[in-house]
Amino acid sequence: MSQRIVRQIIPTAGLGLAVLSSMGQRINVIYIMTDDHSYQTISAYDGRYNETPSLDRLAREGVRYDKCFVTNSLSGPSRAALLTGKFGHINGFINNSSVFDGSQQTFPKLLQKAGYQTAIIGKWHLVSEPTGFDYWDILTGQGSYYNPHFINKDRGTYQIEGYVTDIITDKSIDFLNRRDRSKPFCLLVHHKAVHRIWMSDRKHLYDYEDRSFPLPETFFDDYNGRQAASEQKQSIERDIDLAYDLKMVDESFDTRLKSAITGGELKRMTKEQRSMWDSLYVPMTKKFIEADLKGDSLTMWKYQRYMRDYLKSVASLDDNVGRLYDYLKENDLLHNTVVIYASDQGFYMGEHGWFDKRFIYEESLRTPLIIRLPDCYEKAKRNKSSSLMVQNLDFAPTMLDLCNVDIPSDIQGVSFASEIETGKVPDGWRKNIYYHYYEFPDEHNVHKHYGIRGDRYKLAHFYDDGIDCWELFDLKKDPDELTNLYGNPKYSEVQKKMHIELQNLRQQYKDTSDNR
């Protein structure tokens, strides 16, 4: 497939790159990536839970991708795929214990070589020191919600008072204010939110407290026919921690992870922050103890608490996306800046009874993706959705393409820059996407697996550590992926075909790790 699609379509694409180049201008890139942000909690995708006006505005002024998938539903691997445009078995980062080899080719390095000023602010999570960035200011490890620690070249490790999503946005705006204006820029804004343990800022602390959310239809999934799903440890009923995740901290009871919040996030707070926090959670904890909930009522209560806390931290993300957008508008940067919004993967909002991610199932395989092309692209698509099957693997080549920088042939992803502008499916576009997850057991006990997802069918193989199971789903008849059709004679042809497709993709992407 051609990697040079944009170049070919420029002459007929209206005021696109050709015009910008002739004016001696190059486009800037702002790539905003959140952590664990589900498409279900963006109102441009799904109106059931919340309103996200800033993200919706981006979608109205750009293209909302409805079939954007990750290569591996986990932070580090997703970030490594973003930087390299390659799968984990090639870039060397397969799970959160990997260390990124910063000597390898990345798209920020290629942009830098082409004259771009590059920067990353926020969550990095790749262990080694960032390379390919003129400026970096990153959270330590997973980062903290309150008064987080950052690391940068000048200051080493240091702490800043405030709420992490606001601080990352402040820092991003600050970078834009003091950037070298003789160069185009590429800024990666990588938020910590909405990662566990879903902590609200003070402004949104009381939001959603009067709201109750409908349970997803698959909440009480029995995992029949899906061994790996039955063995996971990310169930809202069993695994979510009352103190740590749901903030019910009281001397009268201990939980497995209580000390992780009392000695962690709560301890980090200033007196003021803590007293505001306690004004909500202390009386709530008392009420919770008094109610002495059991069985399904307790599970339901946990689900509501989980949703409320999660949505509060989404609210401040949305505010801050708005704040960055306003800055771009006021500084006349929407004209020549592409704004991309994505998450490092999707997340379960109670589907299958879960929080967390990791599985090849839709909610965690998919990630939100919204792309707003610069205003100078006169014919850019606005207020559109796209069902092109794209992957985070494609982000690097797409950004290079948009910046008119050559895409090296060893990049495994493919640019879909032309499709953002024209809506036309690029010739020979992929029919299936490939996925491979490796982190077992870690905290959530999700077995290693690989698989493919096409327009209609999904095939996955869970392997190693006491499992050797195949799963096949018909996404049209069974979008919730409850019925494993593997071995069902009615689907034997489909199964055969999907095996061939899977082998082809494994060969194409050079994944020889497990060939059973």
Residue 465's binding partner out of ligand SGN, Ca ion, none, with CB under 5 to 8 Å set by partner kind: none
Asked if 379 and 15 count as a contact pair (C-beta separation under 8 A), the reply is yes
Closest CA to 80 of 66, 65, 101, 64: 101
Q: How far is the CB of 216 from ligand SGN (least distance, A)?
A: 19
Between residue 331 and residue 360, which ones bind Ca ion under the rule CB under 5 A?
344
Between residue 46 and residue 65, which ones bind ligand SGN under the rule CB under 6 A?
none
Nearer to ligand SGN, 25 or 142 (CB): 142
Residue 444's binding partner out of Ca ion, ligand SGN, none, with CB under 5 to 8 Å set by partner kind: ligand SGN
Between residue 468 and residue 497, which ones bind ligand SGN under the rule CB under 6 A?
none
Between residue 314 and residue 353, which ones bind ligand SGN under the rule CB under 6 A?
344
Q: How far is the CB of 354 from ligand SGN (least distance, A)?
A: 11
The single-letter code of the amino acid at 150 is F
Residue 201's binding partner out of Ca ion, ligand SGN, none, with CB under 5 to 8 Å set by partner kind: none
The single-letter code of the amino acid at 453 is R
Q: How far is the CB of 391 from Ca ion (least distance, A)?
A: 16
Cis peptide bond prior to 194, omega within 30° of 0: yes
Contacts of 355 (CB under 8 A, 6+ apart): 196, 234, 236, 239, 240, 245, 306, 347, 348
Contacts of 72 (CB under 8 A, 6+ apart): 78, 81, 87, 88, 94, 435, 436, 437, 438
Residue 241's binding partner out of ligand SGN, Ca ion, none, with CB under 5 to 8 Å set by partner kind: none
Instruction: Tell me which residue has its CB nearest to ligand SGN.
Output: 75
Three-class secondary structure of residue 168 per DSSP: helix
Q: Please tell me the distance from the alpha carbon of residue 270 to that of residue 306, in angstroms, as a whole number.
A: 24
Asked if 170 and 273 count as a contact pair (C-beta separation under 8 A), the reply is no
Q: How far is the CB of 234 from ligand SGN (least distance, A)?
A: 7
Stretch that binds Ca ion, among 29-37, 58-66, 183-191, 489-497 (CB under 5 A): 29-37
Residue 96's binding partner out of ligand SGN, Ca ion, none, with CB under 5 to 8 Å set by partner kind: ligand SGN
- Going from the C-alpha of 456 to that of each of 71, 286, 394, 433, the distances in angstroms are 18, 49, 21, 12
Three-class secondary structure of residue 93 per DSSP: coil
Between residue 80 and residue 139, which ones bind ligand SGN under the rule CB under 6 A?
96
Structure tokens at 228: 């790996």
Strand partners, 319: none
Q: How many residues bind Ca ion (CB under 5 A)?
A: 4
Q: Phi, psi at residue 271, to the nearest 5°?
A: -55, -45
The single-letter code of the amino acid at 368 is P
Q: Does 140 bind ligand SGN (CB under 6 A)?
A: no
Q: How far is the CB of 390 from Ca ion (least distance, A)?
A: 19
Nearer to Ca ion, 221 or 344 (CB): 344
Q: Does 35 bind ligand SGN (CB under 6 A)?
A: yes
Q: How far is the CB of 350 from ligand SGN (least distance, A)?
A: 15
Nearer to ligand SGN, 302 or 506 (CB): 302
Structure tokens at 416: 């879909």
Between residue 191 and residue 210, which ones bind ligand SGN under the rule CB under 6 A?
195-197
**Owner of token pair 């078995």:** 89
Q: How far is the CB of 247 from ligand SGN (least distance, A)?
A: 13
Residues lying near ligand SGN in the complex (CB under 6 A) are found at 35-36, 74-75, 96, 142, 195-197, 344, 356, 443-444
